[in-house]
Amino acid sequence: MNEISIHGKIFIPYIPFDKIEERTKSITKDLEKEYKGKNVMFLGILNGAFMFMSELMRHYENACKISFVKVSSYHGMESAGKIHELIGLNEDLSDYDVIIVEDIIDTGLTIISIIDAVKKLNAKSVATATLLFKKEALKIDFTPDYIGFEIPNRFVLGFGLDYDGLGRNHKDIYQLKP
């Protein structure tokens, strides 16, 4: 892993793919135990969660459905604090235990908005799985059900996370150089 430059900012290696894969396998095993025999739908949050969702699904062996919703709350490197739903939920969730899959939870505003929308569609239950959790950035009282890594409130990219649309394609996670 070498440092990378995007839009004139330097990002240094932070979490290598092998650690991401190891942690994702562990989360998947927990999910398989918890949801064995249940009617499960994984709901991935685009664009950022696509790689984490893919990695979870690559290892998940129980029957499940997969869907996605696209929302946006970032502008550059800052959370806008406002949710802009781009593609809404159009699935009937009344028979499903829904697991919302996020790339990162920082302020908590996006995930709470999505949880509320899923509950309004009568899901049997709603759980959250996030690759990254910035507990110190939370603006609400919330803890995800499944956490890949708790990280400090620093800007990161790679493995689906971006900076103004760039950097999602890196298999490792990078942190903004101080």
Identify whether 75 is part of a domain.
yes
The catalytic residue among 92, 106, 116, 145 is 106
Residue 106 among the catalytic residues: yes
Identify whether 171 is part of a domain.
no
Range of the domain at 99: 21-153
- pLDDT for the residue 84: 55
In this structure, what CATH number is given to the domain that contains residue 95? 3.40.50.2020
Identify whether 163 is part of a domain.
no
Q: Mind listing the pLDDT tens digit for each residue in 118-158?
A: 998 899 999 999 999 999 999 999 999 999 999 999 999 99
* Mean pLDDT for the stretch of residues 75-95: 65
Amino acid identity, residue 87? I
- Inform me whether the pLDDT recorded for 170 exceeds 80: yes
Q: Mind listing the pLDDT tens digit for each residue in 4-26?
A: 999 999 999 999 999 999 999 99
What gap in Å lies between CA 158 and CA 13, rounded to an integer?
10
Identify whether 134 is part of a domain.
yes
Q: Across the chain, what does the average pLDDT equal?
A: 91
Identify whether 10 is part of a domain.
no
Amino acid identity, residue 60? Y
Q: Mind listing the pLDDT tens digit for each residue in 29-64?
A: 999 999 999 999 999 999 999 999 999 999 999 999
- The structural domain count of the chain equals 1
Closest CA to 51 of 142, 159, 130: 159
Q: What is the pTM of this model?
A: 0.91
At 166, the pLDDT band (50, 70, 90 cuts) reads very high
- pLDDT for the residue 128: 98
